Chains A and B, each alone.
Chain A
Amino acid sequence: MKLPDDTDLVTRFKDGDLSAFEQVVLKYQDRIYTLCRYMLYNAEDAPDAAQDVFLKAYGGLKAYRPDASLYTWLYRITVNTCLDYGKKSRPEHCADTSAFDNLASSQPSPERLYQSKETGRLIEGCLRKLPGKLRAAIVLKEIEGLSYEEIAHALGTSVGTVKSRISRAREEMRRRLQKDA
């Protein structure tokens, strides 16, 4: 089934069609939820955070101007919402560290860790230890597959800053994986 076009959805929403907004939610809910899962310290906050993102989007969509894609605009709201959630909660240390330790004992090299079923949890664990802004940049690049320009727009910063943050995030993650393996 072909997904509805964003421009049409926004136009219909601005004309008062509430079902158009529901289609926006259905179209982007998985991507927004995934971003929340990787951005937040506490995975159980992800459903509430994702819901907050769409409630904020509903409030702001009438003023939205399509100078950037709708999903970049939604990502911007998501990153800001998750950074706000991050201020309320502290990073977890125990839950994912145990997964690290188990993997480290049986699979010593990062190359073999990559093949493990625990990859998702491993990445989540590593990401949660990164500062919020580095985490946002690397998640948008590596998991969401955005370009530098799109990330810059989503984070409200320059392309140069985005490149720098991605580089630092990779370096930080490389060190952590090396240390834990």
Chain B
Amino acid sequence: MRCSQIRKMISPYVDDDLTPDELNVFTSHVHECQACKEELEETQTVHRLFASAVGFEAPPGFATRVMAHLERTEETGLSRLRCLFTGRPFFLRTAEIAFALVIVLIGMISGNLLVADRTSVRQPTVQTSFSLDLFQATPTDSVAGIYMRLAENGGEE
């Protein structure tokens, strides 16, 4: 096997990732080839360098800072929500509420009309809907009623 192919096997060799067959080919080549052997030793040195590398500790109070940041962020989110209702001028909020009420009212009226259209079997006449059958042009106790009675009886009362 050529050196270029063997050198591609150096990293898997360091990680114990060669198959038994590959391992045989690799070790026998490295045993005979000085250049490949040196490259292997240098790669192993890099590997050992990493093994002796230090791990770092997070700065003191790191977790506390992260949690405080999160709480601030959550609080900011809630404040923004509150601002939607409280952070604008009075006239604007009043106008918004009035507009919302008008929309609700229109919805209720149109809803009632639609329901009435669908549910009523008999369409009420204009007279019954406004109780015109009870309407009296001159009620008995009114001035006009008394006048009308006097006129009919020829002024006897």
Please report A residues at the B interface, Cβ cutoff 8 Å.
Answer: 18, 21-22, 25-26, 29-34, 37-38, 46-47, 50-51, 54-55, 58, 110-111, 113-114, 119-120, 122-123, 138, 141-143, 148, 163, 166-167, 170-171, 173-174, 177-178
Contact = CB atoms under 8 A, between A and B. Distances in A.
Interface in B45-72: 45-59, 62-63, 65-67, 69-70
A87 to B, nearest CB: 23
A26 B15 CA distance: 31
Nearest to A25: B63
Interface of B: 8, 10-12, 14-15, 17, 39, 42-43, 45-59, 62-63, 65-67, 69-70, 73
B52 A114 contact: yes
B46 A173 contact: yes
Contacts of B39: 174
A123 B55 CA distance: 12
10 contacts: A25-B63, A34-B56, A50-B62, A110-B45, A122-B49, A143-B50, A171-B11, A173-B46, A174-B43, A174-B46
Contacts, number: 104
Given A163-B12, A170-B14, A178 B42 contact: yes
A138 B50 CA distance: 9
Contacts of B54: 119-120
A33 B69 CA distance: 17
A143 B50 CA distance: 6
B14 to A, nearest CB: 7
A30 B67 contact: no
A47 B63 CA distance: 11
